[in-house]
A = this chain, B = another copy of it.
Amino acid sequence: MDSRIIIALDQLVDQNTLITLSQLVPKVKIGLPIILQYGKDEIKRVLSRANFSEIILDLKLADIGSTMVNVIKAVSDLGDSVIAHAFIGYENALDELKKYANEKNKKIYLLAAMSHPGWFLDIELIYNVIERTQPFGLVAPATRPSVIRKLRNSFPNNVIISPGIGYQGALPGTAICSGADYEIVGRSIYLSKEPIAMIEKINEEMVKRIEQCKASET
């Protein structure tokens, strides 16, 4: 099975490590803090020799349409996809973002629910926004498997990516067992002294858990 890990880079790792990581996992997610800290050019340089099939910009966009479009314009050469908050709504917000993203061949992921305890919005509040925006993907936390199951049932054709593995407490494989397509791993990798060994370990654990849950389903 190909790896279903997305690496979240909220801190930069050195370029050689990143190149090796890109041979082990398919996708990378880049956070706003490192874009602001290092600047676009440095991030572009570090990513340039890595070989990820998708670079997701985790900007957590949550503004009116024209501002979200201007944010993407400013960093469009950095990535293939962008994460926006579903709660921001459709008219004059995600409608304009979607239109621009389509024109520029960028993918949109809508953040449907978050993992931290303070998050209080019901997933149902956001269904209508997801239906209207028709995003490429959805983001939902591994720490809330019931939310992932609901989203998978209601949106069978969207790619679901899921943070919360490792430091935030969810075990590798649990989100995929609930219906996600990819699991996002951040601190466990970029804070590790041996990120390559760590990713291999997480990958193995993930494969095992997925095999177990598939077996228990049949």
Of residues 62 through 120 on chain A, the ones whose CB sits less than 8 Å from some CB of chain B are: 62-65, 67, 70-71, 73-75, 85, 87-95, 114-120
Q: Which A residues contact B (CB, under 8 angstroms)?
A: 10, 31-37, 39-40, 60-65, 67, 70-71, 73-75, 85, 87-95, 114-121, 125, 129
- Give the 8 A-B residue pairs with the shortest CB-CB distance, closest first: A89-B118, A33-B70, A36-B74, A91-B118, A92-B116, A91-B117, A37-B74, A93-B118
Copies of this chain, tallied across the complex: 2
Chain B residues, CB < 8 A from A87: 87, 121
- A55 to B121: give the CA distance in the assembly, Å: 31
**A-B contact list, 21 entries, CB within 8 Å:** A10-B67, A31-B70, A33-B70, A33-B74, A35-B36, A36-B71, A37-B73, A60-B61, A64-B114, A88-B118, A89-B117, A89-B119, A91-B116, A91-B117, A92-B117, A92-B118, A93-B116, A93-B118, A94-B118, A95-B118, A120-B125
